[in-house]
């Protein structure tokens, strides 16, 4: 989920914790738990700082080890240990319990996004992405804000957020049902599909679709369970040519390939250089595919420049990165 949603979830868990007698009965424990759930709800996303280094490192590592099983176990211990000197009278067991819930819930809800997490590391590096909840879901964020407002005007925070989480369980069930209906319609339209990727959007009844069969890629959308195919591409295997093999060694393209499950590729040859481009097909927006990796190599197959990430025009890409113009 996005940072804002994780913050309001941390606050909500701090309110829900007041149902715990050991928290409600101790001002020090209550204050410690509130701070711990806020920190715990953000801690796994500390790897966002990697974006300051470069996109390749960020793409390869975001929601990786910081969302892994060892991390889910270690974050609560570290946060509780850091807070304990400031709240010596707090019940550390209950601080740890609520911090663990905050960290676990962070990783758990991220699994439902299209981006997903490597939540089963170190046992598996596979990305777990159920694709039923958008990274920012207006309903989830909004109902948390409503709960915080009710708390501010005097409602019992424990019962308020307990009720909200019951509603959210029902909401998740509805999202799964909607996802399953879209999946069934796609299978009906493309019965020989090998892989179907359905991604949520900000709108409840609108989904993005990418499908692979033996010979083609299909890109489409679903609105109110009506599936429309927008683009089709022939599925051409990436050849093992010297140019492409050299490009694959570049850190940006390597990061892209480690993350993207469905893409097409292009290669152009100019007088003094080659340009290799890989395009993720999951994120079609207004007829454009903004998530790409591009590598330019000289005639000796040395990398001249490269980029991976989100870009919405070739002009901006080349201007921003000083890539050789065509």
Residues 6+ apart with CB under 8 A from 189: 227, 229
Tell me the mean pLDDT in the region 44-68: 84
Which helix (H) or strand (E) covers residue 312, if one does? none
The confidence score (pLDDT) of residue 324 equals 52
Reported as a pLDDT band with limits 50, 70 and 90, residue 120 is very high
For the chain, what percentages of helix, strand and coil (3-state, to nearest 5) are there?
Answer: 50, 20, 30
Closest to 212 (Cα-Cα) out of 228, 189, 235, 231 = 235
Reported as a pLDDT band with limits 50, 70 and 90, residue 320 is low
Contacts 24+ apart (CB under 8 A), 51-56: 54/251, 54/252, 55/252, 55/255, 55/307, 55/308, 55/309, 56/251, 56/252, 56/254, 56/255, 56/308
pTM of the model: 0.90
Residues 6+ apart with CB under 8 A from 228: 220, 221, 222
pLDDT at residue 190 is higher than 80: yes
Rounded Cα–Cα distance for residues 23 and 95 (Å): 8
Distances from the Cα of 323 to the Cαs of 51, 94, 143, in angstroms?
A: 20, 54, 45
Give domain limits for the chain.
3-174, 190-234, 242-321
Per-residue pLDDT tens over the stretch 204-262: 999 999 999 999 999 999 999 899 999 999 999 999 999 999 999 999 999 999 888 89
Three-state DSSP state, 217: strand
Terminal C-alpha separation, the chain: 38
Percent of the chain residues past pLDDT 90, beyond the cut: 79
Tell me the mean pLDDT in the region 80-93: 96
Reported as a pLDDT band with limits 50, 70 and 90, residue 264 is very high
Per-residue pLDDT tens over the stretch 23-41: 999 999 999 999 999 999 9
Among 72-86, 98-112, 201-215, 297-311, the range scoring the smallest mean pLDDT is: 297-311
> Comparing 81 with 127, which gets the higher pLDDT?
81
The confidence score (pLDDT) of residue 318 equals 64
DSSP 103-147: HHHHHHHHHTSSS-B-TTTTT----B----S-SS-HHHHHHHHHH
pLDDT at residue 276 is higher than 70: yes
Tell me the mean pLDDT in the region 38-67: 87
pLDDT at residue 314 is higher than 90: no
Rounded Cα–Cα distance for residues 218 and 144 (Å): 37
Range picked from 39-53, 177-191, 267-281, 306-320 for highest mean pLDDT: 177-191
Q: What is the mean pLDDT of the chain?
A: 92
């Amino acid at each position: 989920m996005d940072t804002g949603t994780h913050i309001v979830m941390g606050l909500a868990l701090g309110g829900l914790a007041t149902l715990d007698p050991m928290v409600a009965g101790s001002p020090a424990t209550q204050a410690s738990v509130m701070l711990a759930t806020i920190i715990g709800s953000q801690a796994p996303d500390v790897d966002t700082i990697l974006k300051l280094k470069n996109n390749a490192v960020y793409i390869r590592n975001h929601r990786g080890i910081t969302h892994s099983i060892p991390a889910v176990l270690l974050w609560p211990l570290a946060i509780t240990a850091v807070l304990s000197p400031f709240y010596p009278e707090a019940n550390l067991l209950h601080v740890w319990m609520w911090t663990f819930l905050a960290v676990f819930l962070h990783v758990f809800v991220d699994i439902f996004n299209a981006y997903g997490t490597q939540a089963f590391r170190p046992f598996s590096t596979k990305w777990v992405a159920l694709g039923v909840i958008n990274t920012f879901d207006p309903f989830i964020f909004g109902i948390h804000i409503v709960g915080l407002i009710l708390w501010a005007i005097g409602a019992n925070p424990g019962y308020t957020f307990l009720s909200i989480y019951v509603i959210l369980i029902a909401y998740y069930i509805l999202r799964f049902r909607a996802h399953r209906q879209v999946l069934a319609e796609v299978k009906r339209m493309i019965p020989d599909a090998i892989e179907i990727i359905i991604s949520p959007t900000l709108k409840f009844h609108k989904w993005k679709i990418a499908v692979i069969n033996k010979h083609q890629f299909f890109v489409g959308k679903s609105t109110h369970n009506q599936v429309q195919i927008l683009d089709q591409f022939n599925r051409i295997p990436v050849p093992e040519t010297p140019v492409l093999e050299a490009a694959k060694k570049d850190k940006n393209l390597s990061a892209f390939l480690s993350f993207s499950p469905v893409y097409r590729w292009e290669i152009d040859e100019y007088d003094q250089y080659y340009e290799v481009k890989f395009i993720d097909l999951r994120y079609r927006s207004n007829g454009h595919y903004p998530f790409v990796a591009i590598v330019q190599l000289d005639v000796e197959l040395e990398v001249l420049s490269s980029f991976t990430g989100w870009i919405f025009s070739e002009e901006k890409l080349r201007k921003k990165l000083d890539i050789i113009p065509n």
